[in-house]
Structure 1
Amino acid sequence: MTKVAALDQLVADNSPTAKAVLTVLFPLTLLFVLLRYFTGAGAAAGARRANNKPPPSPPALPLVGHAHLIGALPHVSLREIAARHGGEEGLMLLRLGAVPTLVASSLRAARSVLRTHDQSLASRPRSVVGEVITYGPSDVAMAPYGEQWRQAKMLVTTHVLSAKKVQSYRAAREEEVAMANQLVNC
């Protein structure tokens, strides 16, 4: 009996095994295949990475990545992780949720990252939520590093966050704080 015929018989019998296969195993298999396809974890991705090997990384959990390894004192946790899993260069790659994060744990690595590669690492990660909230990456908080970001930062610091402007907003801030206190103390 072929595998397809066996599956047809299970479905026709309306057995609990068929229900388990169709409701649990099939969606899990489909999810696994789609994840492998969209993350590029196939053979072609392995061939692309052969020459460009990423820094070492500890084992990660599927959705949270390495976030579970960061404790109450992040600097201590990162030092301990770097001692166990960091490479000779003092670099390691952590995935905090969906964001890949390069950690430089030695003076030489930090100097290299901050001086040599500062332009390539200065930008912010793209965030779909940030783009929806701010109607695209056009504000100072979400814009990628570049000329547009520098111009927006200059405008904000000179026209919105100058000492005179901040002082002029004092009455509005105090009014908002009073309203928030009333809402909390109802």
Structure 2
Amino acid sequence: MEFVHSLTGMKSKLRYTFRRFDQFFDEVITEHRNSKGEQEEKKDLVDILLDIQKDGSSEISLTMDNIKAVILDMFAAGTDTTFITLDWAMTELIMNPNAMEKAQDERSSGYILPAPVLVPRESLEDVIIDGYNIPAKTRIYVNVWGMGRDPELWGNPETFEPERFIGSGIDFKGQDFELIPFGAGRRSCPAITFGIAAIEIALAQLLHSFDWKLPPGLEAKDVDNTEAFGISMHRTVPLHVVAKPHFD
């Protein structure tokens, strides 16, 4: 079925995107190499990775492709997830006007739609969890979608009720496994503090400055909320809304 990718143009698009990213990463790495000595006291992640590669004595062996892969991970994790969270938050609020009004009155907060699964893990050693034998090097997928819709953990799990988190003792930063949008443990999101601030500020600004409605003739039941397959749940159909200045 290799010819299918040629017919759809997907392979050529992927190759073009790869070349663009690779060129961009080369420029970033070259810029950091040329600035050595000028910013010795202000090293960032790229500087540290280049130092590890140059050292050679480290237990970690880094190639240039490894460094580019880490940079790509940082870009993807830092932009895609924030945008998608805001996109779904606006979708849920548009479809639930009462919740939007409460949020605009500062009596409610946004809602984070969980991803289908966390980034895959791999067990380091044989372990028994809840009676199940899990051999070493087993690939593990955490179904956070199912956790977020478990009726034993949540009342009315299929209903959009952001009020449920007001006064709740559940911590979403990886301490309580009923809700782990940022993961948990050593592989939890390293930018959790920045991500929370970015989403809260952006969403608060959108709700504070504008009233949001669907285009004329379109009702909430008509909105296509189909998700695209992937680690991050994109919408397959863009959300179209009408913004009216909140203070008019």
More helix as a share of residues: 1
Higher relative contact order (CA 8 A, sep 6+): 2
TM-score normalised according to structure 2 size: 0.20
TM-score normalised according to structure 1 size: 0.25
Pick the structure with greater CA Rg: 1
